C-alpha cells in the first residue's frame, strides 16, 4: 500500500478525514483573515514598504503555523488515545500493533501538519505579491492592494471548497466567505 | 504436510474497516483465496462476523496476522477442512 493510500486508510478507520478537512478550512480561513487584517492595517495607515509588510506578515504566518501544529497535535493525540482505549475496552484486546494502534500514533501528526501548514501556506500565497514587488517585478497597482485582492480570492476559494463538500452552490458559499472577510476588513478600516 | 483448504472463524471487529475492507485485505493475501464474511451482530463499537476462507492451502498464521493487523480478533475456529497429502511430506 502506497503511503498516500495508507494515510487515507488510517484517516478512514479513525473516521477523522472530516476533522482534517475542517481543520484545513478553519485554519486556512484564519491565515487568510489574519493576513487581510495586517494588510488592511498597513494600507489604512498610509502604506508601508513591501519589505516591512513581508516581515510583519511572515512573523504572523509562522506564529499561526506553529500554533496550529502544536495545538492540533496535543488535542488530537489525547482524542486518538482515548478512542483507542475505548475500542480496546470494547474488543477486550490490545490494539497497539493493529492499524488502529498505528492510526493513534500517526493521525495526530497528520492532522497537526494539516492544521499547521494550512494557515502558513495560505498566508504565503497572500504575501506573494509583496515578494514579487521585492524581487523587482512590476505589479499593476500598489503591492498592498494586490496582496489584499489575493487574500479575498483565497477566502473565496476556501468558501467555494466548503460549498463543494456540502453540495451547496459553491459560488454562494464563496461569496458568503468573502462577505465575512469584507466585513472584517471594513471594521479594521474604520478602527484604523 | 496436510493443507488447510477451508476455515470458518468467529471474528470480532471494529466498525472500521468495514466487512468489505477486511474481506479484501484477506483475499489479497494469496491469488486463490476465496473469502466470505457475514456480519452476525452489531454492537456500539464492534461487530461480530463469520469469516470463511477457502484456498488450496491456507497459511493460518498469515491469515491470523492479517486479521489482527486490521484491528479484529479471532474468537474461535468454528470449522475447518484439511486435505491430506498421503504422507508424502514424510518422504
ipTM: 0.78
Residue from the list B43, B69, B73 with its beta carbon closest to the beta carbon of A99: B69
Q: How confident is the model at residue A113 (pLDDT cuts 50, 70, 90)?
A: very high
Measured between beta carbons, which residues in chain B are less than 8 angstroms from residue A98? 68-71
* pLDDT of A170 over the 60 cut: yes
Are residues A98 and B69, on separate chains, in Cβ contact within 8 Å? yes
Rounded CA separation B30/A17 (Å):
30
The Cα of A16 is separated from the nearest Cα of chain B by a number of Å equal to: 12
Are residues A91 and B73, on separate chains, in Cβ contact within 8 Å? yes
Class in CATH terms, B3-84: alpha beta
* pLDDT of A72 over the 70 cut: yes
Spatial strand order of the sheet with B3-14 comes to B34-42, B46-54, B3-14, B73-83
SS3 state at B78:
strand
Q: How confident is the model at residue A1 (pLDDT cuts 50, 70, 90)?
A: low
The per-residue pLDDT for A49 is: 92
CB B11 within 8 A of CB B48: yes
CB A10 within 8 A of CB A146: no
* pLDDT of B36 over the 90 cut: yes
Report the domain count for chain A. 1
Output the average pLDDT for chain A.
93
The per-residue pLDDT for A192 is: 77
- B57 alpha carbon, distance to own chain's centre: 12
Q: How many CB pairs under 8 A join A and B?
A: 40
Residue A134 domain boundaries: 3-191
Amino acid at each position: 500500500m502506497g503511503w498516500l493510500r495508507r494515510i487515507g486508510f488510517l484517516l478512514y478507520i479513525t473516521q477523522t478525514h472530516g476533522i482534517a478537512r475542517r481543520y484545513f478550512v478553519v485554519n486556512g480561513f484564519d491565515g487568510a483573515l489574519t493576513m487581510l487584517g495586517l494588510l488592511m492595517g498597513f494600507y489604512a495607515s498610509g502604506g508601508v514598504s513591501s519589505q516591512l509588510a513581508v516581515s510583519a506578515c511572515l512573523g504572523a504566518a509562522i506564529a499561526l503555523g506553529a500554533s496550529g501544529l502544536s495545538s492540533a497535535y496535543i488535542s488530537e493525540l489525547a482524542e486518538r488515545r482515548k478512542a483507542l482505549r475505548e475500542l480496546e475496552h470494547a474488543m477486550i484486546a490490545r490494539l497497539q500493533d493493529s492499524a488502529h494502534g498505528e492510526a493513534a500514533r500517526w493521525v495526530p501528526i497528520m492532522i497537526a501538519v494539516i492544521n499547521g501548514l494550512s494557515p502558513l501556506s495560505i498566508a504565503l500565497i497572500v504575501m506573494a505579491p509583496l515578494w514579487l514587488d521585492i524581487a523587482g517585478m512590476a505589479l499593476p497597482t500598489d503591492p498592498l492592494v494586490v496582496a489584499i485582492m489575493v487574500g479575498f480570492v483565497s477566502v473565496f476559494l476556501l468558501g467555494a471548497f466548503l460549498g463543494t463538500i456540502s453540495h451547496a452552490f459553491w459560488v454562494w458559499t464563496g461569496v458568503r466567505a468573502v462577505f465575512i472577510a469584507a466585513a472584517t476588513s471594513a471594521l479594521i478600516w474604520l478602527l484604523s | 504436510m496436510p493443507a488447510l483448504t477451508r476455515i470458518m472463524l468467529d471474528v470480532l471487529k471494529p466498525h472500521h474497516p468495514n466487512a468489505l475492507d477486511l474481506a479484501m485485505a484477506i483475499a489479497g493475501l494469496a491469488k486463490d483465496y476465496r473469502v466470505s464474511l457475514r456480519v452476525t451482530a452489531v454492537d456500539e463499537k464492534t461487530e461480530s462476523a463469520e469469516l470463511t476462507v477457502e484456498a488450496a492451502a491456507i497459511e493460518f498464521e498469515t491469515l491470523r496476522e492479517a486479521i489482527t493487523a486490521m484491528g479484529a480478533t479471532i474468537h474461535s475456529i468454528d470449522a475447518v477442512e484439511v486435505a491430506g497429502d498421503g504422507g508424502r511430506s514424510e518422504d
